[in-house]
A and B are shown apart, each in its own frame.
Chain A
Amino acid sequence: MKPLFQRLFSIGLGIALIAVPLALPLASQAQTVTNSFNPGDLIKGSLSTVYYFAPNGKRLVFPNEKTYFTWYSDFSTVKTISDTALAAIPLGGNVTYRPGVKLVKITTDPKTYAVDRGGTLRWVTSEQLAAQLYGTNWAHQVDDIPDAFFVNYTRGTDILSVNDFSPSNVTTQTTTIAQDKSIPTNTASVNIVDINTGFVPQITTVKVGTTVTWTNNDPFNNHTVTSNTGVFDSGVLAPTKTFSFTFPTAGSFSYHCSIHPGMQGTINVVNQ
C-alpha cells in the first residue's frame, strides 16, 4: 500500500498557516544539506522553520521569532537537514523565553510577568519592582505573548521584593534550552528511521560519558545497532524498542545495522 504522505505533501503546502512559527529570512538559508548534527544544534529542513534538536532526540519548536531571539542573536549556526530526516525526529514541545531576558504579558490581562527557568511566569507585583529589576526602561522590555502560547508557560510564585529574583543571574545560569527545560545533557538520541533513511542523525558528536539511546522508529522492520569494531551491539531491536550505550572513552565509533548493512552511522566521542 502506498504510504499516505506521498500524496499529501503537496496538499499541505497549499494551506496557509494562521499562527506562523519562526521562519528564517530567505536570504540567510543555508543550502548545504547535512546528515551530521549534534544535540543542542539548531536544525531546519527545506522549509524555513527552525527547530532546536534536544539531547532527548526531539525537536523543539520556537513558537515565534521573539522567543528565538531571546536565545540566539542570528541564524548563522542553523544546519539544514533532509526533510525525511526532519520528519523522523518527533516534535517535543515548544521553546519558551530565555529566563530573565524579557518581561511578558498577554493582551487580555494587565499583569506583567518575569520569566524564570523552565518557562515559569512570575508576576512582578509593582511598577517600582519592575524598574528596580529591569531598569527605568522596563516598559520597553515587555513582550506580548499570544494567548495560544500562554499554555507553554506555568505560573510560579509572585515576585514581591528585589531579593526574590535576579534577571541577570538566571540568564547567565541558563545558557542552553536543554538546561532551561531540565533535559539531561549527558544524553543523546539517534532515531532508527527505516531502511532508506537509516540512522538520524547519521553522524553525531557527543562528549565522553554520554549515554546514547537508539530507538527503532521503523514500524515495519527489526534493526540492530552493531559497532563495526565490536564495542557494542544491541541485538535485534523490534519496532519501538530502544538500546542505550554509554561511551567511556573518546574516539570515533562507526556502527551499522547487521540486518540491513546499508544502514550505517557514526558516534564521535570527544573530551569536553
Chain B
Amino acid sequence: MRRIFSFLMIVSMLVPFVAQAQQAASGDLIKGSLSTIYYLGADGKRYVFPTEKTFFSWYSDFSTVKTISDTELASYPLGGNVTYRPGTFLLKVVSDPKVYAIDAHGTMRWVETEAMAQSLYGNQWAHLVHDLPDPFFIDYALGTPIINTADFSPATVTAAAASINADKHIQTAAPAPQPITPAPAPSATSTTPEVSHTAEITSSNNSPASGDTIQLVGSASPVTGLDHLTLYFDNSPIKTCLYSPCSTDLTIPSSGVKSAYDIRSEAFWIDRHAATGTSSIPISSGSNSGVTLTLNRQESTPGSQRSFDVLVDNTFSAYTIDIFVDGLDIHGCTRVQECRYADTETSTTGTVHTVYAIVQDVGGHVRTTAQQSITVVDHTHPLISISPDKNFIYKGETLGITATASDDVAVSWVEIWLDNVELKHCAASICTLTTGPWTASRTLNFLAKTQNSFGLDAQATSTSVTVQ
C-alpha cells in the first residue's frame, strides 16, 4: 500500500509536467532536466542565454520557465545566443576599455565620454556597466559611436524591443515562401472556345540606374470582365487597378541594389480566369560617378614607390574596391570608402602600365574608373603645383603666389610666370611671390615652371584669380 501510494504521488506530479510539455510555444522560456534555460523563438529554434546577466536584462526572475522533456528540448535546434535587451545596461569587454550602449538587434555603440554616459544613463551609469566575456563579443554587431544624446535613447530602444523575437527579428518558421502566382485558369481543357487571357508589363526604361524613376505599365487582355490588375516590383505589390492599362511611377532603390529586378503584372477576371506577365529590368552599372582614382604620379622609376588612391564619395557605400594594373587585381579593400595602396615598381624602363579601379557597392552594382597610365622611365619629371592665396581680390589688393616642386632628385629651380613674363626665379623647390597691387579688373592665370637636376622640365597653371 505504501509503495503504491508513493508511486501515485510521482504520477500526480508528473501530470502537470506532461501537460506543460505540450504547451511550449514561441516566446516561452524552456528548460529540460538540466538547469540551462532557453528562449523558444518563433522559428522553432531555441536561443541560449550566454550569461545570467543577459537573462536578467530581459526577465526579472525564473517564474515563467517551463520544464519540458529532454526529447522535446532536443527537437528544437539551437538558433544562436540571446543578446542584452537594448538600452538596459552598458557593456564592455575585459580586454578593451571602451564602454558600449546596446542598441536594437544586438548592436553595440561606443559611448565615447563619461559625460555622454551620464546624460544617457544618469549619475549611477557606472553601476550599469557589465563586463561581457570576450567569447560573446562576436554575438554583437558594432554600430556607429554615439556622438550626441539625440543619437540614442535607452528608454525608447528598450520599449521597442518588447521581446527577444522582436529584437532578433525571429520570424515564424513558415514553409518556404511560395512564389505568388495566380490560380491557374480552370478551363485549360474546356470544350468551349476560349478567348486568350494575357497580361503584360513594360518599363519606361529598360536599363535604369539605381535612383532613377521609371514608369511601369501593366496591361491585361481582354479588358472586358477584368476584375483587377496588380503590378509587382521585386515580388512586392506596388499598384492595383480595376482597369487596364495600369501604370505607376517607381524609384529604383539606391541601397541594397540588385543587378536586376523582376517585374510582374497579375490580372484576374471575374470569370476566375487569371494571367501573369513577367519581365526583368537589368540595372545599369551607370558611370564611374562617385569614384576617383588618383595616382601619386604618372611616371615611375624601377624600384620606386608607385601609389594608388581610390576615393568613393558619399553617394553610395562601397563594398569592395579593387585596383588593377595591367588587368591584374593587385590590391583589394573591403567595406571602406577609400582604398590606398602602394607598391614598388618592378618593370623596366619603357613599360607603360594601365591602371584602373573597380568599385562594387553593397548591392553588387559595379563602377569602373577610366584607365590611367604609369610610364616607367629612368628619370621622372618633377612634380609641380602652384596656388594663389585667394581666388578673388578687389582692385588695389595684392596677391600671394606659392609654387612648390618636388622630385626624386634635386629640383634645380622654380619660376613663376604671368602672361609669358617671368615674375620670379627661385633656386629652391618652394618659390613665393607677392604680386600687385592689381588696379584693373581682369583674370589672372599664373604659370609655374621647374627643372630637375637631370634637366627634365614640368609646368603647372594656377586656378584663375579674378580681380573685381
Residue numbers of A with Cβ under 8 A of B are 1-9, 11-12, 15, 17-21, 45, 47, 49, 51, 61, 63-64, 83, 86-87, 91, 93-94, 106-110, 147-152, 211, 219, 230-235, 237, 240-246, 248-249
Q: Report A-chain residues with C-beta under 8 Å of the C-beta of B78.
A: 106, 109, 147, 150-151
Q: Which residue on A lies nearest to B330, using beta carbons?
A: A246
State which residues 47-70 of B face A: CB under 8 Å.
48-53, 70
Query: Taking the nearest CB of chain B, how far is it from the CB of A37, in angstroms?
Result: 15
Contact A233 B340 (CB under 8 A): no
> What are 13 inter-chain pairs, A to B, with CB distance below 8 A?
A4-B117, A7-B126, A87-B96, A91-B96, A108-B32, A108-B70, A148-B49, A152-B138, A232-B342, A235-B296, A242-B338, A244-B340, A249-B344
Shortest Cβ distance from residue A64 to the other chain B in the assembled complex, whole angstroms: 8
> 11 additional contacts, CB 8 Å, given A4-B114, A232-B305?
A4-B113, A17-B133, A18-B53, A21-B133, A87-B98, A91-B93, A91-B137, A151-B48, A151-B139, A244-B340, A245-B343
Asked if B131 contacts A108 (CB within 8 A), the reply is no
- Least CB distance, B407 to chain A, in whole angstroms: 12
> In this assembly, does B409 line the interface, its C-beta being within 8 Å of a C-beta of chain A?
no
**A244 CA / B305 CA spacing, docked (Å):** 12
A152 to B448, CA, bound (A): 61
Q: Does chain A have a CB within 8 A of B239? A: no
Does B346 sit at the interface, judged by CB under 8 A? yes
Is A248 touching B51 in the complex (CB atoms < 8 A)?
no
How long is the Cα–Cα vector from A235 to B112 in the complex, in angstroms? Answer: 27
Chain A residues lying within 8 Å of B93, measured Cβ to Cβ, are 91
Please give, as numbers and ranges, the residues of chain B lying within 8 Å of A235 by CB-CB distance: 296, 307, 309, 340
Closest to B112 in A: A4
**A15 partner, pick from B36, B38, B115, B131, beta carbons under 8 A:** B131
- Please indicate the chain B residues that have their CB under 8 angstroms from the CB of A148 in the complex: 48-50, 81, 135-136
Q: Is B130 an interface residue (CB 8 A)?
A: yes
Contact residue among B70, B95, B98, B135 (Cβ-Cβ distance under 8 Å from A47) = B95
A244 vs chain B, min Cβ distance (A): 5
B85 within 8 A of partner (CB): no
- Using a CB–CB distance below 8 Å, which chain B residues touch chain A? 32, 34, 36, 38, 48-53, 70, 73-74, 77-78, 80-81, 92-99, 111-115, 117, 126, 129-131, 133-139, 145, 296, 305, 307, 309, 331, 333, 336, 338-344, 346
Q: Are A1 and B135 in contact (CB under 8 A)?
A: no
> B145 to chain A: which residues have CB within 8 Å?
219
Residues of A near B114 (CB, < 8 A) are: 1-2, 4, 7
Q: Which of A45, A232, A244 is the most central at the interface, judged by chain B CB atoms within 10 Å of its CB?
A: A244
Of A3, A15, A45, A241, the contact of B340 (CB 8 Å cutoff): A241
Given contacts A9-B97, A12-B92, contact A21 B340 (CB under 8 A): no
Q: Are A61 and B53 also in contact (CB < 8 A) when A12-B94, A49-B94, A244-B340 are?
A: no
Task: Determine the chain B residues whose CB is within 8 A of the CB of A152 once the complex forms.
Answer: 138
Residues of B within 8 A of A230 (CB): 305
CA distance A245 to B330 in the complex (A): 11
B38, B99, B134, B139 pick with most chain A CB within 10 angstroms = B134
When distances are taken between beta carbons in the complex, the residues of chain A under 8 Å from B343 are 245-246, 248
Say yes or no: B80 contacts A151, CB within 8 Å. yes
Q: Inside 8 A of B305's CB, which chain A residues have their CB?
A: 230-233
> When chains A and B are docked, how far (Å) is the Cα of A219 from the Cα of B129?
23
Q: Which A residues are in CB contact (< 8 Å) with B137?
A: 61, 91
CB pair A61 B135 closer than 8 Å: yes
- Indicate the member of A63, A151, A240, A243 with the most B CB atoms within 10 Å: A151
Looking at A4, A5, A243, A245, which has the most chain B CB atoms within 10 Å of its CB? A4
Chain B: minimal CB distance from A91 (Å): 5
Closest beta carbon of chain B to A239's beta carbon, Å: 11
Contact B342 A244 (CB under 8 A): yes
Looking at the complex, which one of B38, B97, B138, B341 makes contact with A93 (CB distance below 8 Å)?
B138
Q: How far is the CA of A114 from the CA of B136 in the complex (A)?
A: 23
B48–A147 touching, CB < 8 Å: yes
Chain B residues within 8 Å of A106, by CB: 78
Is A12 a contact partner of B331 (Cβ separation < 8 A)? no
Name the 4 nearest CB pairs between A and B, nearest first: A5-B97, A148-B50, A63-B135, A61-B134
